């Protein structure tokens, strides 16, 4: 089975279309969605429509999805994110808002190999930023491979014999899933990367080969920026796309 893993699309339809086109070229069987499909970007309805057509077999909500659906307020967001979240709430169709309300909190068990979450397996809003965060997440995971998002940066941490390790997440690299080792993997953000690379990030998980492949694909950033500005969203949300921060 080949899974296309998508995370943190953030209403960036130009990035999502580029990712779907690239992924279809290589082929995949099903989609896994790790949350935050809305927020920040200017086309939440278009992105939700694309995702609904893709019909993910496993889907967890992100914090921006909760706020967009009206299930949570944006008080914990910084001013720019808050303005984007309020705009998203007002812009969503009733049907798409209802779609967001049906998304579930992670973690979700996909199969015997994979589980997915947005922040971490022990808290959907927790960020995995350092070794202690990763260790706590790996210990809470119930499958050998836990895919997460939320940080907008690719990462691959292993736990074997109580020792943490790091694996490469460079575009084109392949992570082999070994026996007796646990993996915590972020395939990167589709719509708002924050690792200094503005290209959209995604991953393909092949359960037969027991591997994760990391991909980056260029997309028309200037078009996504124009959409943000035309929508009247904060200019900072447009500017950051060009630098991947």
Upper half-sphere CA count for residue 54 (Cβ side, 13 Å): 28
Q: What is the pLDDT of residues 28-76, one digit of tens each?
A: 999 999 999 999 999 999 999 999 999 999 999 999 999 999 998 888 8
Element counts in the chain: helices (H) and strands (E) = 8, 12
Beta carbons of 1 and 29 less than 8 angstroms apart:
yes
Q: What is the pLDDT of residues 99-152, one digit of tens each?
A: 999 999 999 999 999 999 999 999 999 999 999 999 999 999 999 999 999 999
Element (H, E) at 163: strand 163-166
Q: Classify 2-243 by CATH class.
A: alpha beta
Among 66, 72, 65, which Cα is nearest to 51's? 65
Q: What is this structure's pTM? A: 0.96
- Interatomic CA distance for residues 85 and 78, integer angstroms: 10
Look at strands 174-176 and 211-217 and give their pairing: antiparallel
Task: Tell me the β-bridge partners of 123.
Answer: 120
């Amino acid at each position: 089975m080949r899974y296309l893993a998508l995370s943190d699309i953030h209403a960036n339809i130009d990035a999502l279309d580029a990712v779907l086109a690239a992924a279809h070229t290589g082929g995949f069987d099903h989609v896994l969605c790790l949350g935050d499909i809305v927020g920040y970007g200017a086309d939440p309805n278009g992105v939700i429509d694309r995702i609904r057509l893709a019909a993910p077999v496993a889907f967890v909500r992100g914090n921006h999805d909760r706020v967009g659906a009206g299930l949570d307020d944006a008080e914990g967001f910084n001013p720019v994110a808050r303005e984007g979240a309020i705009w998203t709430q007002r812009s969503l169709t009733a049907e798409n808002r209802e779609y967001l309300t049906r998304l579930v909190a992670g973690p979700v068990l996909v199969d015997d190999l994979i589980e997915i979450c947005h922040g971490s397996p022990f808290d959907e809003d927790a960020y995995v930023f350092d070794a202690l965060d990763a260790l706590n997440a790996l210990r809470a995971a119930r499958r050998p491979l836990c895919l997460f998002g939320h940080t907008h940066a690719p990462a691959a941490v292993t736990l074997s014999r109580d020792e943490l390790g790091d694996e490469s997440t460079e575009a084109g690299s392949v992570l082999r899933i070994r026996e007796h080792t646990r993996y915590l993997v972020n395939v990167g953000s589709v719509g708002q990367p924050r690792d200094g690379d503005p290209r959209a990030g995604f991953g393909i998980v092949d359960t037969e080969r027991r591997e994760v492949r990391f991909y980056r694909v260029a997309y028309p950033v200037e078009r996504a920026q124009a959409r943000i500005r035309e929508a009247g969203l904060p200019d900072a949300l447009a500017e950051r796309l060009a630098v991947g921060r």
